[in-house]
Structures are given as structure tokens and as C-alpha cells.
Chains A and B, each alone.
Chain A
């Protein structure tokens, strides 16, 4: 459009902008409509799929995991609510709800022993023992999903990483980076000494003692002064597979 000087020119420019905007909105609407339609198709196909493979989804953990991924791609969350299509058809909401409750029970039972931090594999093992008589097998992926649901309830549940290992935290205590590093160090033997922490993490004596004492106070570490070499050892129950002792499962 040819630019015109003066007020007329301004009015034309304004009109032009309006028209472009309208056109833009239309295009956007068209795109959105198209997307919505595609998504609707996706959803109905997904629902069809779910109907057909309901049993596989219930019984097979890896199939179930892939199903979740598919749903996530289309923005569908089968666990979003306990009502509605997904919950009714698959009863999947119930499955994860039940899992969540069992996970909470295990974490509470082992909390006096490990301070509220438990190795994910250990948790899964205890979960499977607890569910010995249930038909449905449970994978680590299932545990993680159930825990992420618990997290949205604001119950202080979270999965944290200590090196390559995943730990499930069931207490509101925040683990600082220093604590994480000590846990990682403890993984091979189950314990650390002050010397070790100073040496391998190149920390000052004060920093090491500080971190270890905090871990002791939080109930995540236990002290051992019975070794012949006289050095204090700090043991981390969450890192060993001894959460099962003493607990009433």
C-alpha cells in the first residue's frame, strides 16, 4: 500500500494494521482449529488403543510405561483425575493411588531407621514384598509416577539424585549440595570418615564436620566409633540395603 502523507496517511496505516491483525488472528485461529482437530483424533485413537489393550496396560509394567509416554506426547494425563474416562476405563488412577499409599507406608515405617531418605531400588524391593499377593507387577517407573503424584499433594515426597543413584525423600528436609556429595561418597562402602570427606572432596575440616553433623542431626547418618583404628565412621542407612531390618513389614 502506498504511503500517503498527513492525517489520511496515518489513518490508512492504522486501517492496514487492523486488517493485518485480523488476518493474523484468522490464521492463528485456523491453525489452532486444525491442531485441536488433530489432537481430538489423537485422543480418540488413544482411547481406542487403551480400550483394546486394557489388560496389557494393567499387567505389563514396560507396556504401561510406554503407554504413559504416548499419553504425555498428546498432553493426556491418565492420572489427572480419579473420575472420567481414563479412571473408569483403566482404573489406572486407583492403581497409582494404591501404590502411593503403600509407598507412604513404607517410607513412614523405615523413617526411624534411615531418617526419611530411602534408595529407590530398596523402596521398590520392599514394595514388591508388600504386594506379593497382588496380580499387578510394579516397576521403578511405576514408583516414580506414583511419587510424582504424591509430590503434587505437597506431602514432601521427592526423588533426588546422589550421583547415579536415586533416593526417595519423604521428609521436608532440604538436602544441600554438600550433603549430596557426602551421600555419593558413601555409596561404595556405606560409610565415610571425616578424613575421607576432607581428602576426596577437598574440603576444610570445618566444612566436613558441619555437613556430617547436620546429617547426623537429621537422622540420615549414624555414628560408629567401634572400629579398631579409632576413627569415627558415619554410616548412611539410606545407602545400604538395610532399611528392611527392624521395620514391621
Chain B
């Protein structure tokens, strides 16, 4: 199995036609599903939050089989992630994409639980404090990044339990 650093690449990554956007519906659906899973997995394990469509993202090309995803294909796969809440476009031109390994509503849950578990309900904390605090060691709170937290604030405000 081919690897990107420590990351194990799935077999389909070495099959040339998967780098071409398939015209037939069923094949396209399967292709999109495989790429969605790969992108999410890779970003989660490599702690990548943002993908630039015109930049050199390792998954966009495979030098072994000499294939590269077209811009159209990249946009198609990322748009699919956006539709299911696993990504957000950071600009109208769809050039940068924020990857959410947990969806926004899931992050809100996670933070809420973290706050409850650690008795922070009545305190005021900055995102940076949450992210680097002792209680956060070994939890997903460490993975919060500023870019991410800006997005999370939105559903957060709607929850009445915390200030």
C-alpha cells in the first residue's frame, strides 16, 4: 500500500480513472464517496484545516501513476463535503476550503460536553485558553484552531446554557 508519510493511501488512489471525474452517475457517486472519505481521513490525521484548491495538496496528484485531479474534480469533491456539513468555503470564488472533521454542530456539542465535564459552566474562557489548558491535554480541544473557532462561535451563541 502506498503511503504519504505515515498515512496509508487506499487502493483506489492508484487507479488512474479515479482521477478523472466520471460521467456516469453511479460511477461518479462511488468516486465522490471514496474521495470524500479520503480527504476527511487525511485532514483529520494530518491536522489540516484548510485546503487551497490551486495549491499543491498532496492528495490532488499521484506522481506514481502520473495523474492529477482537475480543478473541476477538486471542486466537485470539496463541494460534496460542504453539502454534508464537513467543510465550508472560505471565499465566494471557492478557492479555499475549511475542512471540518467534525461538523459545526458536532463541535458545539463537543465543547459543551467538555465545559460540563470540567466544571467550566460559569466561567468565561477564551478559545485559546480552552485549546491550551491543562484539562484539554489529550482531548480534541487541542485541535481547535482559530480559524475553526471563528465558525463555531455561531451555533454557540444560540445555546443558552453558557455565556
Interface segment among A99-107, A120-128, A218-226: the answer is A218-226
Select which of B12, B20, B23, B24 is within 8 A of A226 by beta carbon.
Answer: B20
A-B contact count (CB 8 A): 57
Q: Nearest residue in B to A241 (C-beta to C-beta)?
A: B11
A219 touches B66 (CB 8 A): no
A226 touches B30 (CB 8 A): no
**Known A-B contacts A226-B67, A244-B11, A246-B10; A216 and B16 likewise in contact (beta carbons under 8 Å):** no
Interface segment among A32-40, A155-163, A227-235: the answer is A227-235
A227 touches B66 (CB 8 A): yes
How many chain B residues touch the partner (CB < 8 A)? Answer: 20
Complex alpha-carbon distance, A224 and B23, angstroms: 11
Point out the residues of chain A lying under 8 angstroms from B30, CB to CB. Answer: 112-113, 246
* Smallest CB separation, A29 vs chain B (Å): 61
A216 touches B12 (CB 8 A): no
B59-89 residues at the A interface, CB under 8 angstroms:
66-68
Q: Is B133 among interface residues, defined by CB-CB distance under 8 A?
A: no
Complex alpha-carbon distance, A191 and B20, angstroms: 14
Q: Is A217 among interface residues, defined by CB-CB distance under 8 A?
A: yes
* Smallest CB separation, A57 vs chain B (Å): 37
How many chain A residues touch the partner (CB < 8 A)? Answer: 21
Interface centre among A191, A217, A233, A245 (most CB of B within 10 A): A245
A224 touches B20 (CB 8 A): yes
Point out the residues of chain B lying under 8 angstroms from A224, CB to CB. Answer: 16-17, 19-20, 67
Point out the residues of chain B lying under 8 angstroms from A216, CB to CB. Answer: 23-24
Complex alpha-carbon distance, A112 and B22, angstroms: 13
* Smallest CB separation, A225 vs chain B (Å): 5
Complex alpha-carbon distance, A246 and B12, angstroms: 7
* Smallest CB separation, A106 vs chain B (Å): 16
B16 touches A233 (CB 8 A): yes
A226 touches B16 (CB 8 A): yes
Complex alpha-carbon distance, A37 and B23, angstroms: 64
**B17-48 near A? 1/0 per residue, CB < 8 Å:** 11110111011011000100000000000000
Select which of B15, B17, B24, B26 is within 8 A of A245 by beta carbon.
Answer: B15
A242 touches B23 (CB 8 A): no
Given contacts A216-B24, A228-B66, A240-B15, 14 further A-B contacts (CB under 8 A): A112-B26, A112-B29, A217-B24, A219-B24, A219-B26, A219-B27, A224-B17, A224-B19, A225-B20, A226-B20, A226-B68, A242-B11, A242-B15, A246-B12
6 tightest CB-CB pairs across the interface, nearest first? A245-B11, A222-B17, A224-B17, A226-B67, A112-B30, A224-B16
